[in-house]
Amino acid sequence: MADRPLTEPHPSRLSPERPDRARILAVHAAALAAGEAGYPDPATGLFVLTAGFLARRGTCCGRGCRHCPYVDD
């Protein structure tokens, strides 16, 4: 796993310049705290998996998940 907290996505997956970044991170943090597998994206309504769920899977699936805990570069 990458050397960063599960609450912090890699910048290539969620840009620091994205206008709704704070809202996405807040919804993600709430889902993590509740132990949920994911959350509805605030902008699109699509279901997004949490870093906690992805970490429990044990490996990266290679599909470009927003909160992938394995992305390092």
pTM of the model: 0.93
- Break the chain into its structural domains and give their ranges: 1-72
Region 2-21 average pLDDT: 97
How far CA 13 is from CA of 34, 46, 61, 68, in Å, comes to 22, 16, 14, 8
Q: Does the pLDDT of residue 73 top 90, yes or no?
A: no
Region 22-49 average pLDDT: 97
